[in-house]
Amino acid sequence: MTVRVEREGALALVTLARPERLNALTPEMMEQLAEATTTLQQDRGVRAVLLCGEGRAFCAGADVGTMKGLDVLSGRQRIQRAHRVIAGLANMDKPVIAAVRGAAVGVGWSLALACDLILASENASFSLVFKKIGLAPDGAAAYFLTQYIGVLRARELMMSARRVPAAEACALGMVNEVLADDQLDARALDFARELAESATFALAMGKRMFRASMQPSLEAFLDLEAHVQGLVLQSDDRKEGVAAFLAKRKANFVGH
């Protein structure tokens, strides 16, 4: 399994376990994550969740090699699978913490943003690299970033695709804490254990109130994102972007 779920009492530890590829997400991993979020939501014995990546990166985004042959149907299935994961994390009626070490790229950053709290090591970095393969942002990245840092900054991160170091992410309000690399795991576990032992029903109700304060709703945004990505996936720029990435050459985008 490339997504590992372990239990420690009321705490569930979910680990992306494909370190040789920096935990880049395959369709199979997304399906495993979707199943895990559903199972954890339904398990009343689980009262907090900690999401992390094995090895030196949190998640390098989607595995671009699995995107080469996407058509309308397979592209929609891909985005729907990702949406199950994002909604599953964001709407879970229990606290969810992301512990981010190294790179959180593209939809990998979206996974972290869908969690309630983000702890990062000082070597962590975040980036929206979708434009480099001819895609619009997915995984509700635009939704979460707009909520956290406002439209102007969120738009700049999408358009520049620049790398945001952990310290800057914390200063902008996208990360709760930045820790030394050798302290991240212990701090994240301690925090998650503390939450698992707290008044988690009250926290769940609080989460619902926070969700109600966000406009538009996450579900409405995900519907729009699925429509947009269906169009973008069929564009010449997306096909060229994937081909260039796999060939390790500069993409020649044409704007359609």
Higher pLDDT, 139 or 244: 139
Q: Is 233 among the domain residues?
A: no
Q: Is 192 among the domain residues?
A: no
Q: Is 116 among the domain residues?
A: yes
- Say whether pLDDT at 9 is over 90: yes
List the domain range (segments joined by +) for residue 73. Answer: 3-182
- Say whether pLDDT at 240 is over 90: no
Residues 6+ apart with CB under 8 A from 212: none
Q: Is 93 among the domain residues?
A: yes
Domain count, the chain: 1
CATH number at residue 45: 3.90.226.10
Q: Is 203 among the domain residues?
A: no
pLDDT tens-digit series, residues 68-125: 666 656 667 778 899 999 999 999 999 999 999 999 999 999 999 999 999 999 999 9
Quote the CA–CA distance of 116 and 94 in Å, as a whole number. Answer: 9
Contact 222, 107 (CB under 8 A): no
Q: Is 219 among the domain residues?
A: no
pLDDT given for residue 71 in this prediction? 65
- The pLDDT mean for the chain works out to 92
Nearest by Cα to 99 from 15, 22, 199, 206: 15
Nearest by Cα to 129 from 163, 95, 100, 96: 163
Q: Is 73 among the domain residues?
A: yes
Q: Is 209 among the domain residues?
A: no
Kindly report the number of other CB atoms within 10 A of residue 78's CB atom.
19
pLDDT given for residue 216 in this prediction? 80
- The angle subtended at Cα 137 by Cα 136 and Cα 143, nearest 5°, is 130
**Which H or E run contains 104?**
strand 103-105
